[in-house]
Amino acid sequence: ASPRQQHRIGPTTRGVHHARAKDTHMLRRPARDLTRTFTRTFASSSSSAPRVSIERAADGVATVTLGRPEKLNSLDIDMFRAIRSAAVELAEDKGVRAVVVHGSGRAFCAGLDVKSINHPLHARANGRELLDRPDGAISNLAQDVCYLWRRVPAPVIAATHGVCLGGGFQIALGADMRIATPGCKFSLMEAKWGIIPDMGATVVLPELVPKDVATELIMTGRIFDGEEALRLGLVTRLAEEPLAEARRLASEIAARSPDSTAAV
């Protein structure tokens, strides 16, 4: 089976295989009307601004926007929930032919919002919500933001710019393709916090680069740019306008047979 058909997340789920189909615990929704462009938002419990929005176009391309630009789209608990909800919805939508994921403002995603997640009033509850794995699921909420993109039957393209760090990089790694600016900064920074990048990188990274390269990037947590990411095989191509290029590629793929793209 190809990497898109066979996958595992985290040390507790090694050897778990799956097809790119919806999880049994997900509710089936009817296919969307894609005759026009429209937007779906996933709001924050602490702000009126949506954390994530989905814009669906008539050609079947869905654009997912991370919407916390004032914090470089860093991951607080509301962002985790919103990304999961968006990925689940798109995985169930038979009208979607391709997906583009990008960040609003100056960055794709700066990674975990440590201050917010570890707030004294919410740290314990946040930790439980992020790490608890429901019965029958193969990933927890923290891992869902990477893993669930691999459950979307349509191809997923991440368009990165600015910074793509830590958990943000792992979200991008969950996509099938990545288009980045030459100067986009990448890093798996978890080693600096005394943890491992187990939101998905420990599994996905060795699929893309040799094991020794993956080990070096994880152990050092060093920052590298889009040029090096391309040489390493971590991004598909470079573009000065990655969102426009990702949408162009998504539209090209959407015009092809959905059966063939789902089978790759």
Average pLDDT rounded to a whole number, residues 36-64: 78
Whether residue 19 is predicted with pLDDT greater than 50 in this model: the reply is no
| Distance separating alpha carbons of residues 150 and 175, to the nearest angstrom | 7
This prediction has a pTM of 0.82
**Nearest of 45, 54, 47, 42 to residue 70 by alpha carbon:** 47
26 vs 76, residue with greater confidence: 76
In this prediction, residue 43 carries a pLDDT of: 59
Question: Which helix (H) or strand (E) element contains residue 245?
Answer: helix 242-254
pLDDT at position 261, please?
A: 82
| Residue 42 pLDDT grade (very low, low, confident, very high; cuts 50, 70, 90) | low
The average pLDDT across 87-116 equals 96
Residue closest to 234 by CA, chosen among 167, 154, 140, 164:
164
| pLDDT level of residue 55 (50, 70, 90 thresholds) | very high
Nearest to 52 by CA among 27, 85, 95: 85
Query: How much is the mean pLDDT over the chain?
Result: 85
Say what percent of the chain tops pLDDT 90: 71
- To which residue do tokens 């654009």 refer? 63
Angstrom distance (rounded) from CA 189 to CA 195: 9
Looking up tokens 């954390």 gives: 51
